[in-house]
Structure 1
Amino acid sequence: MAVERSISVKKIAKHMELAVVAGFEGITRRVSVEMLARPGVEFAGFLDFYDKERILLIGSKEAHFLRLFDEVIQKSRVEAVIKQEPPAVIFSVNVDIPEYFLELGNKYNVPILKSKERTTPVNSKLYSYLRSELAPRQSIHGTLLDIYGMGTLIIGKSGIGKSETALELIKRNHILIADDRVDVYETAPGIIIGQAPKILERYIEIRGIGIVDVVQMLGAGAFRENKKIRLVVELEPWDDKKVYDRLGLETEVYEVFDTKIPKVTIPVLPGRNNATLVESAAMNQKLKYLGYNAAEQLVKNVAIKAAGKGEDDEE
Structure 2
Amino acid sequence: MLTVSNVIERFKFEVVTGEIGIHKAVTSIDVSRPGLEITGYFSYYSSERIQLFGTTETTFFINKLTDEEKRERAYLLCRDETPCIIFTDGYEPPKEIIEACKETSTPLLKTELTTTNLVFYLTDFLEISLAPETNIHGVLLDVYGIGVLITGESGIGKSEIALELVKNGHRLVADDNVEIKEIANGVLMGKPPKLIENLLEIRGLGIINVMTLFGAGVVLNEKRIMLNVHLEFWKEDKEYDRLGLDKRTIKIIDSEIPSKLIPVRPGRNVSNIIEVAAMDFRLQKMGVSAAREFNERLIAHIRSKNDGGTQSL
TM-score when normalising by structure 2:
0.91
Deviation digits for residues 117-171 of structure 1 (CA, Å, limit 9, x no counterpart): 2112211221121121112212111111111111110000000011111111122
The farther-off stretch of 46-55 and 258-267 is 46-55
Does 1:53 find its partner at 2:52? Answer: no
Does 1:252 find its partner at 2:248? Answer: yes
Deviation digits for residues 47-79 of structure 1 (CA, Å, limit 9, x no counterpart): 222232211111112112213113442232112
Note if contact 1:105-1:111 (Cα within 8 Å) is conserved in structure 2: yes
SS of the residue 1:101 aligns to: helix
Alignment-derived partner of residue 110 in structure 1: 106
Alignment-derived partner of residue 198 in structure 1: 194
Alignment-derived partner of residue 282 in structure 1: 278
SS of the residue 1:270 aligns to: coil
Note if contact 1:60-1:94 (Cα within 8 Å) is conserved in structure 2: no
CA spacing shift, 1:85–1:101, aligned 2, 3 Å: farther
Does 1:65 find its partner at 2:64? Answer: no
Alignment-derived partner of residue 213 in structure 1: 209
Moved over 6 A (4+): none
Alignment-derived partner of residue 98 in structure 1: 94
Alignment-derived partner of residue 181 in structure 1: 177
State the one-letter code of the partner of 1:154.
Answer: I
State the one-letter code of the partner of 2:10.
Answer: H
Q: 1:40 aligns with which of 35, 38, 49?
A: 35
Does 1:25 find its partner at 2:23? Answer: no
Q: CA deviation at 1:306?
A: 4.6
Alignment-derived partner of residue 136 in structure 2: 140
Note if contact 1:90-1:115 (Cα within 8 Å) is conserved in structure 2: yes
Note if contact 1:59-1:94 (Cα within 8 Å) is conserved in structure 2: no
Equivalent residues, number: 304
**TM-align CA RMSD:** 1.9
Q: CA deviation at 1:238?
A: 1.0
Note if contact 1:204-1:214 (Cα within 8 Å) is conserved in structure 2: yes
What does 1:161-176 align with in structure 2 at a 5 Å threshold? 161-176=157-172
CA spacing shift, 1:19–1:199, aligned 2, 3 Å: farther
Q: Distance between the aligned counterparts of 2:302 and 2:178, measured in 1?
A: 47
Q: Distance between the aligned counterparts of 2:284 and 2:50, measured in 1?
A: 43
SS of the residue 2:155 aligns to: coil
Alignment-derived partner of residue 147 in structure 2: 151
Does 1:124 find its partner at 2:113? Answer: no
Deviation digits for residues 95-125 of structure 1 (CA, Å, limit 9, x no counterpart): 3322333333222221112223211221122
SS of the residue 1:30 aligns to: coil
Q: CA deviation at 1:307?
A: 4.4
SS of the residue 1:120 aligns to: helix
Amino-acid identity (%)? 38
CA spacing shift, 1:208–1:191, aligned 2, 3 Å: same
Alignment-derived partner of residue 84 in structure 2: 88
State the one-letter code of the partner of 2:181.
Answer: Y
Q: Distance between the aligned counterparts of 2:71 and 2:220, measured in 1?
A: 48
SS of the residue 2:159 aligns to: helix
SS of the residue 1:31 aligns to: coil
The farther-off stretch of 84-93 and 156-165 is 84-93
Q: CA deviation at 1:86?
A: 1.1
SS of the residue 1:145 aligns to: strand
Note if contact 2:55-2:89 (Cα within 8 Å) is conserved in structure 1: no
CA spacing shift, 1:130–1:275, aligned 2, 3 Å: same
Q: CA deviation at 1:19?
A: 2.1
CA spacing shift, 1:118–1:184, aligned 2, 3 Å: same
Q: 1:8 aligns with which of 3, 18, 24?
A: 3
SS of the residue 1:139 aligns to: strand
State the one-letter code of the partner of 2:37.
Answer: E
Q: Distance between the aligned counterparts of 1:74 and 1:228, measured in 2?
A: 48
Alignment-derived partner of residue 308 in structure 2: none
Q: CA deviation at 1:85?
A: 5.1
Note if contact 2:191-2:221 (Cα within 8 Å) is conserved in structure 1: yes
